[in-house]
Chains A and B, each alone.
Chain A
């Protein structure tokens, strides 16, 4: 699986948009970009995933560059409860889609 690079930490003010970048320059054509987060010591929580097109759901938006070498996760109105470690993961679909390679992630701190 392709490796991802994320900043170790970021801050965001409550109510503002949080934009979390991720580089995945070695991504291959059939690999997806997944975002998960881990709040405190809970189990990881799925946020969103995409292949080529931008995606949006009730939690976030995922913007993938045209060359697919990087992406940005956007939390449109961050709240204190969004403070967590955010993981950008590149992985295959099909039978291997649940085999995720977690890196260090980005620690997002949302402050009042």
Chain B
């Protein structure tokens, strides 16, 4: 069974540019999550999809971040325009249904904004 895959593994962009990160969850996992760790900080929850719907987006830092999950399969996280403080590692995770269980994390996409 393929794990959670994320693209790109590393992206370097200039401040003000746009970057789109992609996450392919494990097949059959309805739940998809985005997390991030910015420099020196803890891993933070960004949002949660159930299929194509946003269940919880309380962790999204501001409106420069847009997450989508069209068709309930893969998800994208777009940062537009990117700022220096957006640099960090963005993790995607997926899981099966409730009530509890494990999250399967991808290897992360490292974003460097110059």
Contact = CB atoms under 8 A, between A and B. Distances in A.
Contacts of B42: 102-104
Given A41-B108, A43-B91, A44-B91, A99 B102 contact: no
Contacts, number: 64
Given A32-B100, A49-B100, A93-B98, A98 B105 contact: no
B110 to A, nearest CB: 8
Interface residues of B, number: 28
B45 A99 contact: yes
A13 to B, nearest CB: 29
B44 A98 contact: no
A101 interface: yes
Given A41-B89, A46-B102, A93-B98, A98 B108 contact: no
- The main secondary structure of chain A at its interface with chain B is loop
Contacts of A103: 42
Given A43-B107, A44-B103, A100-B43, 4 more contacts: A42-B107, A44-B43, A49-B101, A97-B101
26 contacts: A32-B100, A41-B89, A41-B108, A43-B93, A43-B108, A44-B43, A44-B93, A44-B103, A44-B105, A45-B105, A93-B98, A93-B100, A94-B98, A95-B55, A95-B56, A96-B56, A97-B95, A97-B98, A97-B99, A97-B101, A98-B31, A98-B33, A98-B48, A98-B95, A99-B48, A100-B103
Interface of A: 32, 36, 38, 41-46, 49, 93-104
